[in-house]
Amino acid sequence: MSFNTFGHMFRFTSFGESHGAAIGCVVDGCPPRIALTEADIQSHLDKRRPGQSRFTTQRQEPDTVKIMSGVFTGDDGIQVTTGTPIMLMIENVDQRSKDYSEIKDKYRPGHAGYTYDAKYGVHDYRGGGRASARETAARVAAGAVARKIVPGLIVRAALIQMGPHKIDRTRWDWNEVDKNPFFCPDAKQAKFFEEYLDGVRKSGSSVGAVIEVVAEGVPAGLGAPVYAKLDGDLAGALMGINAVKGVEIGDGFATAAMSGEENADEMRKDSKLGNAGKPVFLSNHAGGILGGISSGQPVVARFAVKPTSSILNPRKTVDRYGNDTEVSTKGRHDPCVGIRAVPIGEAMVACVLADHYLMHRGQMGEGTAWPFKPRA
Ligand SMILES: Cc1cc2nc3c(=O)[nH]c(=O)nc-3n(C[C@H](O)[C@H](O)[C@H](O)COP(=O)(O)O)c2cc1C
């Protein structure tokens, strides 16, 4: 089994590798009659695209998406999904395989070359082959479709730590995220990151990051006990992104140091017009999920991205023939892969939520919401 497919009811299968002809995915399970254009997808791909600032790889990929199937434009002129497989294709145009010829037979420490070779006996050294984060463009494209499935869903993410340097959460401003090259919600810290990351890059090294994803408009009830918990699926989807080494939901690891009073999100009845009888939570330490099921609060997830393994500074390694050697990576690499992981994290959260939304609808039917009336 090769496991290139995500999801249950909202599914996508990604294909392609870093220096192949194209990458992309086939989305299956998208409901019909959802308005969908290439522009809806392109805007998200443009956020992940390489070569947009000196802080990301200089590989120049336009990442132009083509919808190859699964849509139809009716007499009203609106292009909609048909309910059949949607194939999304992105051509690779700026491969430079010769950049990798020097390290052709060497494993890059921290990269997946050795484990892929140990498993498959094939070493696609050209840009990391299938282990390259080029694959994540397919996830972002699928995520753009997923976002359209859950009504009112807003999924946003931001970089909240680079190396040991955290943002000041009191300065959090979502409007800042698209104004700096780091997707950072703290304008002051973003300025500092410029100088900091320049230093890291010039010294031939790399650095890690932490990204926070917040999903608003998630209805209560998504997720299923016991083997399809929403938090479990989110953790799996985020951990499945290249270079991600840790995931937490809500207050995550910090909850271990909290008391029961501090951690439990207290509840009160909502007095807002139209919401009478529904609960409101006075805090959100749980990150919007209780018992594996969404509570109606924003879903909050955080993930840690390791420093880029391809660095200029030489590291000890072995070659394919079992000899000790050294490797230094001179090609085009991100000094902090966490930056471009921001739109990828958003996409994976959107895919998980769309999948659970469709599964919930499948089990419970349309228009069901707490509090239920007793059946007649
Ligand atoms: C957006 C993004 C860009 C990446 N770019 C690079 C890169 O330029 N060089 C590199 O060595 N790794 C890069 N990576 C990480 C590797 O793909 C990843 O570390 C490798 O496949 C090993 O897998 P693992 O770290 O998940 O264990 C990137 C990851 C992401 C999310």
User: Nearest to residue 40, comparing CAs of 7, 79, 5?
Assistant: 79
* Interstrand relation of 293-294 and 11-15 (parallel, antiparallel or unpaired): unpaired
pLDDT score recorded for residue 103: 87
Q: How far is the CA of 136 from the centre of ligand 1 (A)?
A: 10
Taking Cα atoms as reference points, which of 137, 138, 133, 140 lies closest to residue 111? 133
Least Cα distance to 215 among 45, 347, 83, 94 occurs for: 347
308 in contact with ligand 1, CB cutoff 6 A: yes
CA of residue 244 to ligand 1 center, whole Å:
9
346: left (phi over 0), alpha (psi -120 to 50) or beta: alpha
Which pLDDT value is given to residue 273? 74
C-alpha 134 – ligand 1 centre gap (Å):
9
How many Å lie between the centroid of ligand 1 and the Cα of residue 337?
Answer: 7
The token duo for 33 is 């009659």
**What's the pLDDT at 330?**
83
| 133 CA distance to ligand 1 middle (Å) | 6
Closest Cα to atom 12, ligand 1: which residue? Answer: 308
pLDDT digits (tens, 9 = 90+) for 73-115: 999 999 999 999 999 999 999 887 777 788 899 999 999 999 9
Tell how far the Cα of 223 is from the centroid of ligand 1, in angstroms: 30
Ligand 1 pocket test, pick from 125, 139, 210, 309 with the greatest ligand atom count within 8 Å of Cβ, gives 309
Residue 97 contacts residue 19 (beta carbons within 8 Å) = yes
- pLDDT at position 369 is 67
What pLDDT, on a 0 to 100 scale, did the predictor assign at position 297?
Answer: 97
- The answer to whether the predicted template modeling score (pTM) of the entire model surpasses 0.75 is yes
Give the residue among 161, 196, 167, 190 at the shortest CA–CA distance from 178: 190
Provide CB contacts within 8 A for 13, sequence distance 6+.
Answer: 4, 5, 6, 25, 26, 28
> Is the minimum distance from the CB of 131 to ligand 1 under 6 angstroms?
yes
Parts of the chain with a pLDDT under 70:
1, 367-369, 374-376
pLDDT at position 96 is 78
Residue 89, strand partner residues: 24, 66
Q: How far is the CA of 131 from the centre of ligand 1 (A)?
A: 7
Ligand 1 within 6 A of CB of 334: yes
Give the CA angle between residues 226, 231, 233 to the nearest 5°. 80
Q: Is the CB of 206 under 6 A from ligand 1?
A: no
- Residue 242: CB within 6 Å of ligand 1? yes
Task: Tell me, using a 6 A CB cutoff, whether residue 309 lines ligand 1.
Answer: yes
Q: For residue 315, what are the CA distances in angstroms to 34, 204, 310? A: 50, 12, 10
**How far does residue 309's CA lie from ligand 1's centre (Å)?**
7
Rounded distance from Cα 112 to ligand 1 centre (Å):
9
Mutate which of 57, 182, 242, 313 for ligand 1? The one with the most ligand atoms within 8 Å of its CB, which is: 242
The answer to whether 135 and 26 are in contact (CB under 8 A) is: no
333 CB under 6 A from ligand 1? yes
